[in-house]
């Protein structure tokens, strides 16, 4: 049986990896050009299993293999995937049926005859895995990275795989005949990281300039395409550093050393020193709690992103200096 297995199971929640798997399968099945008639796509939520099975049993017309894609994760238990397990007992070898699961597929499906089911990992890479993924994407272009360049791209771009894949391709072209991509190349093409850009919000907040802080927040989300979750995460990182620095000052550490020990970016340290000298950790804690609440609201869709983010920025810009207790 040439080509991919009769059933391809994409396991994981990363949409871009699922799309990439489908693109690769389409090439293997030969469903391009006039043969595109042999590729059909169904929505798992709106399509009856009988319709999907009928398509899977239909012979290809113009390509070596028929490609039937079911988008949207199936439920691993009950009737949500029982039809698939039964189909796996006698699949149509001229069809490649692609399905999606958020987590591991049912054990009964995995127990199908050898070579019938093939799993493709679509779990979003994190941390070091994400950097390794970026390195592999660049290797396909016959280029390599200098030691810090791949990490710089991930730090400055975030975890959006579609965006990262696009930038890897652009960087491969950008460097021309040079074999390596450097941090300077990343800076020239990508600019500052989300964390660095969000610091403009924090800088305005430090100056208690609410209008500028809100304007920058809107620009980052609406014009520069920063995901609200990434913006909130970067904002939270800055506020946690602020809390750590303030707490160290309360414990007797000089402000310059406290700011440095908290990991504040060196470019911003001079602006933070007077701030940590006059704030209390309890005041910063309240802002951190507000950020946590907003994170939960974003994840549960409790409101539009900007309507949730702007009160946080307003509160951060209004942090009131409090008198320190005498030591």
Domain match, 117 and 12 both: yes
Decide the pairing of beta strands 95-101 and 117-121. Answer: unpaired
State the sign of the Cα–Cα–Cα–Cα dihedral 89, 39, 100, 3: positive
Tell me: pLDDT of 108 over 60.
yes
Say if 327 falls within a structural domain.
Answer: no
How sure is the predictor about 38, in pLDDT bands with cuts at 50, 70 and 90?
confident
Where is pLDDT greater, at 261 or 16? Answer: 16
Q: Is residue 323 part of a domain?
A: no
- Is residue 193 within 8 Å of residue 155, measured between CB atoms? yes
What average pLDDT does range 42-64 have in this prediction? 92
DSSP state of 34: G
Instruction: Clarify whether residues 71 and 115 are in a common domain.
Output: yes
Domain boundary among 121, 139, 174: 121
The answer to whether residues 65 and 100 touch, using CB atoms and an 8 Å cutoff, is no
| Residues 60, 139 within the same domain | no
Asked if residue 205 belongs to a domain, the reply is: yes
Res 188: pLDDT: 86
pLDDT digits (tens, 9 = 90+) for 138-150: 999 999 999 778 8
Query: DSSP of 22-44, one letter per residue?
Result: HHHHHHHHT--GGGGGGEEEEET
| Residue 1 counted as domain residue | no
326 domain-assigned: no
The pTM is what?
Answer: 0.57
Contacts of 89 (CB under 8 A, 6+ apart): 112, 113
Residue 321 DSSP code: P
Q: Kindly tell me if the per-residue pLDDT of 327 is higher than 50.
A: no
pLDDT tens digit sequence for 123-176: 999 878 898 999 999 999 999 999 778 888 887 788 899 999 999 999 999 999
The domain boundary, picked from 97, 121, 145, lies at 121
User: 294: which 2 tokens?
Assistant: 């907003």
Residues spanned by the domain of 309: 194-317
Tokens of 177: 């005949």
pLDDT in the model for residue 189? 86
Confidence of residue 303 (pLDDT cuts 50, 70, 90): confident
Sign, CA dihedral 115-60-47-16, equals positive
pLDDT of residue 266: 60
Q: Using a pLDDT cut of 70, give the percent of the chain over it.
A: 91
Residue 267: pLDDT band with limits 50, 70, 90? low
C-beta separation of 124 from 95 below 8 A: no
């Amino acid at each position: 049986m040439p080509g991919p297995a009769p059933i391809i199971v994409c396991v994981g929640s990363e949409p871009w990896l699922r799309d990439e798997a489908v693109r690769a399968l389409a090439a293997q099945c030969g469903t391009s050009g006039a043969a595109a008639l042999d590729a059909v796509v169904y929505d798992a939520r709106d399509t009856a299993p009988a319709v999907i099975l009928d398509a899977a049993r239909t012979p290809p017309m113009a390509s070596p293999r028929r490609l039937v894609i079911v988008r949207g994760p199936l439920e691993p238990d009950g009737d949500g995937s029982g039809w698939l397990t039964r189909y796996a007992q006698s699949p149509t070898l001229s069809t490649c049926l692609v399905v999606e699961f958020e987590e591991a597929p049912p054990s009964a499906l995995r127990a199908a005859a050898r070579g019938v089911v093939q799993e493709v990992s679509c779990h979003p890479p994190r941390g070091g895995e994400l950097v390794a993924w970026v390195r592999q994407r660049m290797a396909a272009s016959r280029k390599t990275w200098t030691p810090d360049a791949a990490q710089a791209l991930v730090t400055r771009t975030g975890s959006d795989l579609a965006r990262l894949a696009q930038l890897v391709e652009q960087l491969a072209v950008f460097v021309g005949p040079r074999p390596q991509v450097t941090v300077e190349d990343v800076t020239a093409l990508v600019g500052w990281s989300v964390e660095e850009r969000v610091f403009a919000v924090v800088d305005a907040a430090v100056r208690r300039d609410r209008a500028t802080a809100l304007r920058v927040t809107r620009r980052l989300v609406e014009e520069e395409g920063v995901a609200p979750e990434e913006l909130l995460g970067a904002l939270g990182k800055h506020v946690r550093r602020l809390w750590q620095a303030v707490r160290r000052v309360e414990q007797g550490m000089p402000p310059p050393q406290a700011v440095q020990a908290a990991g504040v970016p060196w470019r911003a340290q001079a602006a933070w020193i007077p701030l940590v000298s006059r704030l209390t950790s309890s005041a910063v804690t309240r802002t951190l709690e507000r950020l946590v609440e907003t994170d939960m609201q974003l994840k549960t869709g409790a409101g539009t992103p900007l309507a949730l983010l702007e009160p946080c920025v307003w509160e951060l810009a209004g942090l009131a200096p409090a008198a320190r207790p005498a030591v």
